[in-house]
């Protein structure tokens, strides 16, 4: 798979979700576990990049060498068009999951889910019996003690299942913090697993939440649609966040394209 480096992350330049899913479903034979038995699939968007360089620098450091990094956001794809090879397509977690989930069921792979509600887990388990899930109580992202307690409670279930995939559907950075704790505890186990923190993808898949219309997705305006739908909750994220991302992009382009003085 060709890769494009943006903000220190090697994004996959994939042609579509099927190409990615085919590689993931055959991950062991595709060499995704050359360095570790537990690897990550991450799907950063522009806002995630901003948080990586402002609030969540520790998560950035931990995940920057993930086995699979996909561009979830048109600004990243546009920026990636300046590279050679160029980024081919936006691959979101919400678009990838239905394709990958179908292949998981067809190939009888095992999956463990960490979800925001029992309802989501029940609906997914009705589709496929060879999966398990856990639902954490509400917790603050800074509550490291609860994260440790929750992971300690579910880790033996994960070990018993020996899943090929662990999916997380919480908000950022809660899902990344749990994912990293799980990876630490499974690092010495004798099975391979891909961990994918992909947010609200399962709720979109189950039609429990509505995504922005395709028009907004294609023009990179999904953020604007969400801002219109939830202005009180999203205004700060998408005003200050967008400004911060623009400044990060200028810094990235300057470092990458302006020749250094001799």
CATH class of 3-205: alpha beta
Distance in angstroms (rounded) separating the CA atoms of residues 243 and 67: 29
Average pLDDT taken over every residue of the chain: 92
Distance in angstroms (rounded) separating the CA atoms of residues 49 and 32: 23
Take residue 251 and report the two structure tokens written for it.
Answer: 């810094």
Distance in angstroms (rounded) separating the CA atoms of residues 210 and 200: 10
Question: Going by C-beta distance under 8 Å and a sequence separation of 6 or more, which residues neighbour residue 77?
Answer: 71, 87, 89, 90
Q: pLDDT tens, 10-27? A: 999 999 999 999 999 999
Listed by start position, the domains of the chain span 3-205, 214-257
User: Is the bond preceding 125 in cis, omega lying within 30 degrees of 0?
Assistant: no
Q: pLDDT tens, 140-175? A: 999 999 999 999 999 999 999 999 999 999 999 999
Q: Where are the alpha helices (DSSP H) in the chain?
A: 17-25, 46-54, 57-63, 74-80, 93-106, 118-127, 144-161, 174-186, 201-205, 214-218, 222-229, 231-257
- Supply φ then ψ for residue 10, to 5 degrees: -90, 90
Cα torsion through 58, 164, 45, 252, rounded to 10: 60
Going residue by residue through the chain (262 aa), what tens digit of pLDDT does each one get? 999 999 999 999 999 999 999 999 999 889 999 889 999 999 999 999 999 999 999 999 999 999 999 999 899 999 999 888 899 999 999 999 999 999 999 999 999 999 999 999 999 999 999 999 999 999 999 999 999 999 999 999 999 999 999 999 999 999 999 999 999 999 989 999 999 999 999 999 999 988 888 888 777 778 777 778 778 777 777 788 889 999 999 999 888 655 544 4
Q: Which residue has the tokens 């953020």?
A: 223
- Supply φ then ψ for residue 194, to 5 degrees: -105, 130
pLDDT score recorded for residue 227:
78
Closest CA to 1 of 29, 25, 30: 30
Q: Are 40 and 183 within 8 A, CB to CB?
A: yes
Distance in angstroms (rounded) separating the CA atoms of residues 66 and 33: 11
Q: Are 194 and 140 within 8 A, CB to CB?
A: no
């Amino acid at each position: 798979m060709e890769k494009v480096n943006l903000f220190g992350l090697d994004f996959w330049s994939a042609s579509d979700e099927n190409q990615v899913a085919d590689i993931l479903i055959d991950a062991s034979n595709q060499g995704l576990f050359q360095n570790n038995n537990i690897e990550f699939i991450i799907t950063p968007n522009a806002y995630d990049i901003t948080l990586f360089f402002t609030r969540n620098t520790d998560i950035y450091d931990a995940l920057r060498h993930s086995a699979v990094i996909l561009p979830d956001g048109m600004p990243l794809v546009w920026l990636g068009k300046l590279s050679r090879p160029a980024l081919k397509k936006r691959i979101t977690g919400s678009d990838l999951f239905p394709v990958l989930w179908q292949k998981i069921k067809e190939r009888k792979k095992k999956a463990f889910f960490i979800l925001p509600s029992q309802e989501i887990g029940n609906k997914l388990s009705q589709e496929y019996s060879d999966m398990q899930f856990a639902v954490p109580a509400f917790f603050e992202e800074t509550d490291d003690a609860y994260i440790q307690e929750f992971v300690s409670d579910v880790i033996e279930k994960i070990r018993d299942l020996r899943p090929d995939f662990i999916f997380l559907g919480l908000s950022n950075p809660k899902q990344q913090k749990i994912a990293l704790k799980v990876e630490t505890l499974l690092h010495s186990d004798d099975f391979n697993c891909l961990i994918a923190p992909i947010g609200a993808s399962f709720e979109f898949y189950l039609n429990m939440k509505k995504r922005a219309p395709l028009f907004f997705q294609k023009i990179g305006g999904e953020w604007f649609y969400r801002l219109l739908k939830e202005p009180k909750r999203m205004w700060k994220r998408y005003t200050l966040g967008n400004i911060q991302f623009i400044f990060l992009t200028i810094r990235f382009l300057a470092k990458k394209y302006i020749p250094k003085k001799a």
